Chain A
């Protein structure tokens, strides 16, 4: 059936660095640490690996290095294994994972590593801001002085206008995510914040403030995927990829159907639910793309966890807490776990796998059986959604 993987693929190993300003670690050291951890977790030596897919947004601008696929294969001691870099701005990691899954599902390879890495803190914050803005339309958005936060701010303004979402409700995802991150030893920000602190933090692009925005981070994440039959021999706790879906949309906000959501999220999740044979109500735990507070509000609506315009109220009722109806971003999300852009989509997979295995420690979602990842590139021009299930 179109949209379905041709053979079942499972995740058998996960690894990630801590996220944050890791000035003592280089780009390749970050990737190697995550990759070795994933191999160790899978109980593999490295000899079994047949291909590597790596998500990376902008090594060319952040560290003046292109051709990072070769660099990574080389420094990881993995040559001549084919390594491919995948770029889709902040969705690079999720898309690299998707391509690893597709490669295994096709039968071309059995054991593949999907990783993501970004080294963002070697440049100044101003430079990082300009580099991130290249994910938007340089000619028709950035040209006019529109920053990346300003794009999400315009979505927030429109959401507030159409659905009455208020400033306090906007603050609720970051507050929740910081609380969750206190339980994640690898998170960048392991402290709580209050609604008042969010609302009174320095303005960035009205109505968004500093604590509405995810940080600039260094970090890497990696996972090992293989066919499900092989996975069952490798581990007692394989996590199967039930669906992999992707959708594109206009790169510029002004060319979209709506500003109050991401049509590509709606499209990709619709395809993913159909392929997995589930509905949004079946999801127990989700890692969604909260690059800004409004992004998480739109995500929970576009993914169908609540109706459009009803997220604010649902946050007030605690629907997305770790012990809520569907746990959203138990890892702390991009906001508090950190957002090394190319790594984020893979780190989401790491969290969901740990959750479904029951290995998420203090942030464990009780009885989690079905998980979802949602990774967005730019302001919504690329969206990648995966659905996972415990395979025992």
Chain B
């Protein structure tokens, strides 16, 4: 991903800032400009999510894409945030065999990938199990 494309979404990636539609109340992450329920009648404002949720589905990536070679195998998942939306991220700080649907998770700040040795390093909130 290009540096500007990444930079434009830093607020969202670092603080889990999405949007809420003041007209219908639905919350969105990633943020949306247009509410699909209300279209032109919708009105969006920023909304910061708590980062807490549970694993809705997951997979273990064994054949990684470029930039993720030294991480594999790693777990990716779709997390259901407590505020409602589903969001995609890595599930870190655990063995792949520990992950299951319904597992409570929380957001955690991580180094995601890098573009070669001298390239940009991408950071983002990802998810880790809630340990009690």
Contact = CB atoms under 8 A, between A and B. Distances in A.
A138 interface: yes
A180 to B, nearest CB: 27
* Interface SS, B side: strand
B1 interface: yes
B4 to A, nearest CB: 12
A142 interface: yes
Interface in B1-22: 1, 5, 9
B85 interface: yes
Contacts of B88: 137, 140-141, 144, 146, 252-254
Interface residues of B, number: 35
Nearest to A125: B63
B59 A205 contact: yes
Given A161-B101, A253-B78, A254-B78, A145 B61 contact: yes
B96 A206 contact: yes
A259 B124 contact: no
Contacts of B77: 154
A147 B124 contact: no
A203 B101 contact: no
Nearest to A158: B57
A240 B71 CA distance: 52
Given A130-B65, A150-B61, A205-B63, A144 B90 contact: yes
Contacts of A154: 57-59, 76-78
Contacts of B42: none
A391 to B, nearest CB: 40
B57 A145 contact: no
A296 to B, nearest CB: 18
B101 A147 contact: no
B20 to A, nearest CB: 15
Nearest to A260: B57
B57 A157 contact: yes
Interface string B60-88: 11111111100100101110000001111
Contact of B89 (A144, A153, A157, A205): A144
Contacts of B87: 140, 254
Counting chain A CB atoms within 10 Å of each CB, which of B63, B101, B124 scores highest? B63
Contact of A145 (B9, B56, B65): B65
B90 A145 contact: yes
Interface string A138-177: 1111111111011001110110010000000000000000
A202 to B, nearest CB: 8
Nearest to A259: B57
A249 B102 CA distance: 26
Contacts of B76: 144-146, 150, 154
Interface of A: 126, 129-130, 133, 137-147, 149-150, 153-155, 157-158, 161, 202-208, 252-255, 259
9 contacts: A139-B5, A140-B30, A143-B124, A144-B88, A144-B89, A145-B74, A147-B64, A150-B59, A154-B57
A-B interface, 9 closest residue pairs, ranked by CB to CB distance from nearest: A153-B59, A254-B86, A154-B57, A206-B60, A158-B57, A150-B59, A145-B68, A203-B62, A205-B59
